[in-house]
Structure 1
Amino acid sequence: MSTKQAELLGNQIEFDYAESVAGYVTVAFRLITGWWFFMAGWGKLTAAEPFSAAGYLANAPAASPLQGFFAFAANTPWLLEFTNFMIPVGEALIGLGLLVGALTRLAAFFGGFLMTMFYFGNASWSHGYVNGDLMGLMLFVFVGVFAAGRIMGLDSILEDTKFVQERPKLKYLLG
């Protein structure tokens, strides 16, 4: 067991964790989340029919705080085209980034953004606010916060390059 100190809501806390297992769990979360998103995007890209978000956007529940934006997107041709392209390509690239552990925090950020949009687009809160979309969002938060690409990922190699060493702000995209 190892002990970690952190500040939470202005209070110093100390907690124990299983150091020998933490790395494996972090890598497992990264790989599972990456596979999930890669396959979602790949399935849309290789489907017999082209992907269209029009029905999803047009039928966002009235309970959603973004329902107006989704209706606007469904009825704006260039925005709908952009969405129809970016959802499958974005999902596949986010998943691929997580699978190989490259630009992990950037991929986690955009994965979290998509999951937030899905969460508000589904707005299926009849059983409460905790659902699969929120859990997916939390997976991306975990992967990004714990810099999962630094463990058995390409980010650990990229961070050691001279290019990144000379530009330390790039580490915010890696990890």
Structure 2
Amino acid sequence: MGRQDLREGQYVVVPENPVSMFLFGSIRSAWIWLILRLYLGYTWLSAGSKKMTADAWTGSEAGAAIQGFVKGALAKAEGGKDVPSWYASFLENVVLPNAKLFSYMVAFGEVLIGVGLIVGLLTGIAAFFGGTMNASFLFAGSVSINPLLFILATWLVLAWKVAGWYGLDRWALPLLGTPWTRRRSTTKEDEVTS
């Protein structure tokens, strides 16, 4: 495949290596992703369930936990530790004034991510939002188990096509369709160029 092929509208396909093909494109690896999915799902669901029943998250004092968390992150940022200044600015100007809203978003988000991963529904999307929450916690200076969860979530995002095979994605993804399998409508321009 040379330069001339590219000029004629051709494209170059780089073959997939066998390891990544097995992990991210073969249903034979779905059992690996099932184990990771269930672990991550349980972790998110249990964390979110605890928040759902806590007054400081969703009860009469909703927002108090977020305020404490943000104030701790801001103190780290002032000391020049672990929290980037741009993220401290976001926490101070967006999260802190809307602590109650963010409190509900975190609690309900963790539960939804957990359920999505456990039942294998929209696995890639659930893992993406889980990874986003982990990254947010990391930017706020909270390490704990977040690096591990972020790495596992990233792998699940990469394996989204097969990660939910032993779950609802097996039926949901074909019903929802994917961008590369939707039928493209033919226009007069397409007919002229073909």
Deviation for aligned residue 1:50:
2.9
Correspondence 1:69 to 2:100: no
User: Separation in 2 of the partners of 1:157 and 1:116?
Assistant: 30
Deviations 1:53-101 (A, max 9, x none): 111011102131112222224541xx21211110000000000000000
SS at match of 2:56: coil
- 89 and 146 in structure 1: CA distance in 2 versus 1, 3 angstrom threshold: same
CA contact (8 A) 1:53 1:84 kept: yes
Q: Which structure shows the bigger proportion of residues in strand conformation?
A: 1
Which residue identity does 2:50 align to in structure 1? Answer: G
Task: Provide the residue aligned with 1:57 in structure 2.
Answer: 70
In 1: Cα distance, 2:43 partner to 2:159 partner? 19
List structure 1 segments (4+ residues) > 3 angstroms apart after TM superposition. Answer: 13-22
Count, aligned residues: 148
Letter in 2 for 1:152: Y
Find the partner of 1:109 among 89, 108, 128.
128
Q: Which amino acid aligns with 2:90?
A: F
Q: Which has the higher helix share?
A: 2
**Larger gyration radius, structure 1 or structure 2:** 2
**Aligned match of 1:169:** 179
Aligned pairs for 1:1-175 (under 5 A) are 6=16, 15=19, 22-47=29-54, 49-51=55-57, 52-60=65-73, 61-62=76-77, 63=81, 64-65=83-84, 66-76=87-97, 79-122=98-141, 132-147=145-160, 148-161=162-175, 164-165=176-177, 168-169=178-179
Write the distance in 2 (CA, Å) between the matches of 1:42 and 1:53. Answer: 16
Deviations 1:138-167 (A, max 9, x none): 111111111254320101111232xx24xx
Question: Structure 2 vs 1, CA of residues 169 and 50 (structure 1 numbering), >3 Å: closer, same or farther?
Answer: farther
Instruction: Percent identity, please.
Output: 25
TM-score (norm 1): 0.73
Could you say what secondary structure the match of 2:40 adopts? helix
Unaligned runs of 5+ in 2: 1-14, 58-64, 182-194
Aligned with 1:122: secondary structure? coil
- Report SS of the residue matched to 2:100: helix
Distance 1:29 1:75, change over 3 A: closer
Superposition deviation, residue 23 in structure 1: 2.8
In the superposition, relative to structure 1, how do residues 82 and 24 fare at CA in structure 2: closer, same or farther (>3 Å)?
same
CA distance in 2, matches of 1:36, 1:86: 17
